[in-house]
């Protein structure tokens, strides 16, 4: 597959043609190789000299001037998925990302439980404890035991795992010092913390974490069945979607991933974004009652693929790819009415694009040297 120097130009012919949308029309906003190349460069743009990985490159000239500020670090999401995405490329980025957490993230040395967001020089920007994010990062770091041996990786992994382990009150089946949750939120917390401790226990050979993971798994069995089958009210939409997606992947219990993906799909309204809308929209590739989040579409695709439903996952990968602009940039929200106000490019969407492309087999179809793309303006 070849690429051109012009952003968004159609590249690749023959057996490596441009991927197609769920409606069958070509995705004209950039082919797979160009999007991968844009993603690798975006990661470099978001990784600041002090090791901070920011949500989106608000410091660069092509970032929309009316978009919200994104110069903050969210290690529970962005660093976690950066590790998973770069693993797919054969790159190990654990050490530099975890060094920033160890050396700069305020309170990490004392507590180990991540907060939702940090300023790039280390102070906390959002005080809310991030239990799910802590579990996601621990899982991402330790899911490959062969890449969890560096000193800084082990040091941060122990801090993250200890923060989760010390908060688990097995006698009462809850997490200490945190607001109690129920329904899908409780199910997601139990599955994520249990899964992360299991991965860390295996990678670092710490039996106590494995034992705690087994104890938490026993509680998952008592989570309300409706927690992964019935979506919550729209007012809880964003956090509920994340909870369902976490349960779809990477922390799906056997046989439950498809149910969690279905719940996320229903809450996202993704099934309302039909092929005719994609093909014949007058104001851009997406016209929906609510803005589509490409990161969610890609995450949903990963969950469906993990549940063995690859063919059902592919349309969501293509739908997410259709939100890319002519420079191959995914937005935080694909709303044609408010494109100027959405952060673009949005790192999390690009990272999950890579994870989804691997999950549905698109990366495997490319030669290793194809992980580059057109130059960004």
Q: What is the mean pLDDT of the chain?
A: 83
User: What was the pLDDT predicted at 249?
Assistant: 98
Beta bridge partners of 169: 174
Whether 332 contacts 52, CB under 8 Å? no
Give the mean pLDDT of 287-294. 64
Instruction: Note the pLDDT tens digit of each residue in 123-138.
Output: 999 999 999 999 999 9
C-alpha distances out from residue 277 to 198, 266, 270, Å? 43, 18, 12
pLDDT band at 292 (very low <50, low <70, confident <90, very high): confident
Q: Which of 58, 210, 204 is nearest to 120 (CA)?
A: 58
- The torsion defined by the Cα of 264, 349, 284 and 287, in degrees rounded to 10, comes to 20
pLDDT band at 1 (very low <50, low <70, confident <90, very high): very low
User: How is the chain split into domains, by residue range?
Assistant: 1-49+269-377, 68-259
Please provide the size of the chain in residues: 377
pLDDT at 268 over 60: yes
Instruction: Note the pLDDT tens digit of each residue in 151-197.
Output: 999 999 999 999 999 999 988 889 999 999 888 899 999 999 999 99
pLDDT band at 228 (very low <50, low <70, confident <90, very high): low
CA distance 73 to 96: 14
pLDDT band at 10 (very low <50, low <70, confident <90, very high): very low
User: What was the pLDDT predicted at 8?
Assistant: 30
Residue 333 makes CB contacts below 8 A (sequence gap 6+) with 291, 292, 293, 342
CA distance 257 to 261: 6
Give the mean pLDDT of 302-318. 93
Give the mean pLDDT of 107-121. 97
Give the mean pLDDT of 260-285. 59
pLDDT band at 11 (very low <50, low <70, confident <90, very high): very low
User: What was the pLDDT predicted at 372?
Assistant: 44
Give the mean pLDDT of 103-124. 97
User: What was the pLDDT predicted at 365?
Assistant: 81
pLDDT band at 97 (very low <50, low <70, confident <90, very high): very high
CA distance 224 to 182: 8
Give the mean pLDDT of 71-91. 97
pLDDT at 18 over 80: no
User: What was the pLDDT predicted at 278?
Assistant: 40
Q: Is 65 helix (H, G, I), strand (E, B) or coil?
A: coil
pLDDT at 9 over 60: no
Whether 283 contacts 336, CB under 8 Å? yes
Instruction: Note the pLDDT tens digit of each residue in 239-263.
Output: 889 999 999 999 998 888 999 998 8
Q: Which of 272, 314, 320 is nearest to 294 (CA)?
A: 320
CA distance 333 to 292: 6
Instruction: Note the pLDDT tens digit of each residue in 336-370.
Output: 555 557 899 999 999 999 999 999 999 888 776 66
Query: What stretches of 52-182 show up as alpha helix (H) in DSSP?
Result: 80-88, 94-103, 131-142, 151-167
Measured in whole angstroms, how far is the alpha carbon of residue 365 from the centre of its chain?
22
CA distance 25 to 48: 38
Quick one: the chain helix, strand, coil %, rounded to 5? 50, 5, 40
Buried b (16+ CB within 10 A) or exposed e, 243-264: bbbbbbbbbbbeebbbbbbbbb
User: What was the pLDDT predicted at 224?
Assistant: 54
Q: Which of 39, 42, 81, 23 is nearest to 318 (CA)?
A: 23
């Amino acid at each position: 597959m070849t690429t051109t120097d012009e952003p968004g130009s159609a590249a690749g012919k023959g057996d490596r043609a441009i991927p197609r949308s769920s409606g069958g029309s070509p995705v004209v906003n950039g082919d797979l190789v160009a999007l991968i190349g844009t993603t690798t460069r975006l990661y470099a743009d978001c990784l600041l000299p002090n090791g901070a990985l920011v949500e989106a490159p608000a410091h660069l000239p092509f970032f929309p001037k009316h978009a919200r500020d994104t110069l903050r670090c969210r290690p529970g999401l962005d660093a976690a998925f950066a590790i998973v995405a770069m693993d797919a490329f054969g790159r190990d980025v654990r050490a530099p990302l975890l060094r920033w957490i160890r050396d700069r993230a305020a309170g990490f040395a004392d507590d180990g439980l991540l907060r939702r967001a940090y300023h790039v020089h280390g102070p906390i920007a959002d005080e809310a404890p991030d239990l799910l994010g802590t579990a996601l990062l621990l899982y991402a770091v330790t899911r490959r035991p062969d890449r969890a041996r560096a000193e800084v990786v082990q040091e941060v992994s122990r801090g993250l795992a200890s923060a989760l382990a010390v908060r688990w009150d097995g006698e009462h089946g809850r997490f200490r010092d945190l607001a109690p949750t129920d329904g899908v939120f409780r199910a997601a917390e139990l599955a994520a913390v249990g899964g992360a401790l299991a991965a860390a226990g295996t990678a670092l050979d710490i039996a106590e974490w494995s034992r705690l993971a087994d104890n938490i798994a026993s509680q998952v069995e008592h989570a309300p069945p409706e927690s992964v089958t019935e979506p919550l009210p729209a007012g809880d939409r964003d956090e509920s979607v994340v909870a369902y997606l976490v349960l779809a992947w990477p922390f799906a219990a056997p046989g439950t991933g498809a149910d969690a993906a279905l719940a996320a799909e229903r809450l996202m309204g993704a099934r309302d974004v039909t092929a005719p809308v994609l093909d014949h929209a007058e104001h851009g590739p997406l016209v929906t009652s609510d803005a589509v989040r490409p990161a969610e579409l890609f995450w949903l695709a990963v969950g469906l693929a993990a549940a063995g439903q690859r063919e059902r996952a592919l349309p969501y990968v293509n739908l997410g790819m259709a939100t890319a602009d002519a420079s191959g940039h995914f937005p935080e929200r694909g709303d044609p009415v408010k494109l100027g106000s959405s952060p673009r490019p949005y790192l999390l969407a690009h990272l999950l694009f890579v994870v989804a492309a691997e999950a549905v087999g698109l990366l495997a179809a490319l030669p290793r040297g194809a992980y580059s793309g057109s130059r960004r303006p």
